[in-house]
Amino acid sequence: MNAGPRPSRHFRLQELASGVHAAVAVDGGYALSNSAVVDLGGATLVFDTGLTPRSGADLARAARRLTGRPADYLVNSHWHHDHIRGNQVFANPRVIATTETWELIRTRGAEDVASDRAEAKVRWEEFAAGKVPTPPRDRALLRGWLGGIVDSLPKLRLTLPNLTFDSELVLRGTRRTARILTYGGGHSPSDTFVFLPDDRIAFLGDLLSNGYHPWLGDGNPDTLVQILDRISSLGPRTLLPGHGAPGGPRVLSAMREYVTSAQRQVARHRRAHRPRKELAGLAIPEKFRNWKFSSFYPDTLRFLYGRAARG
């Protein structure tokens, strides 16, 4: 086997088991979300491909060096741009997603690219000029996120999945089995995760965050909690979130608590007949106060308030 992959400014590699590696996004890099590389034995699987072709190219090289072969399969966990825009740099893989995610990438993903072509440069310039209020802990994140989008636009092309499924797809290698599963939509309208039963490792995409506030405004929080409970029943020992460091079952419990505590906070606010506009003044619970992407929290409260008001 060749020497280990060269370092990337976009992610750090972490071995989760022999032949299973996480690519954990580095704040300020152009990946933004986590990925994974799995040596199935006779085939290589990559889970999520990051925000940009530039970070995706580093991931493709890492996959080849770690497993001795190029990626045979890519799994897109959901349609959001920070999980799919690295697809284009991989050479002729099968790109796997749910049928619904394929449709969402084809439609909303294309709209997202068009919006970035029209607006991303202005957003980047405003951020770089200090016109966007940003907590210090989030500055590197925003620099990589907005800067990565602008950097990628000249050569970006949307690469769609070409192998779709509706509930479960199983890949069986000579070394391990990968169960590619969906329990519906929690973080987004359709979320896919991968479970390696031989290793008891799960890659969850944005169904799970660790130390980063999740974006809940495109999903169903009630369903998300149910999905987390179902994943827990599989008995994973190691979980890779979409954002943040890998962890054990406690990370799963913390995510569940995050969602349910936000729901309780909004319910108390509504019972007190306080207006929606006052949600921005509510404090983040102590347990989550140091999480990054803190601007997402008031957005989450407003989203939950709107859902509750609509019944």
Q: What angle do CA 78, 81, 82 make, to 5 degrees?
A: 90
- For residue range 120-132, what is the model confidence (pLDDT) as tens digits? 999 999 999 999 9
- For residue range 80-89, what is the model confidence (pLDDT) as tens digits? 999 999 999 9
Per-residue CA distances from 159 to 30, 49, 58 (Å): 18, 11, 17
- For residue range 5-38, what is the model confidence (pLDDT) as tens digits? 668 999 999 999 999 999 999 999 999 999 999 9
**Across 249-277, average pLDDT:** 96
Angstrom distance (rounded) from CA 76 to CA 71: 13
Which residues, including other chains, have CB under 8 Å from residue 11's CB and lie 6 or more apart? 23, 24, 25, 26, 29, 31, 34, 35, 50, 55, 58, 59
The predicted model scores a pTM of: 0.96
Q: What angle do CA 156, 161, 165 make, to 5 degrees?
A: 160
Q: Is the pLDDT of residue 231 over 70?
A: yes
Give the per-residue pLDDT at 296: 94
- For residue range 197-214, what is the model confidence (pLDDT) as tens digits? 999 999 999 999 999 999
Look up the CATH superfamily of 11-102+158-209+219-247: Ribonuclease Z/Hydroxyacylglutathione hydrolase-like (3.60.15.10)
Which residues, including other chains, have CB under 8 Å from residue 281's CB and lie 6 or more apart? none
Task: Give percent of the chain with pLDDT exceeding 70.
Answer: 98
Cα–Cα nearest to 72, from 5, 172, 165: 172
Sequence spans of domains, the chain: 11-102+158-209+219-247
Neighbouring CB atoms inside 10 A of 16's CB total 20
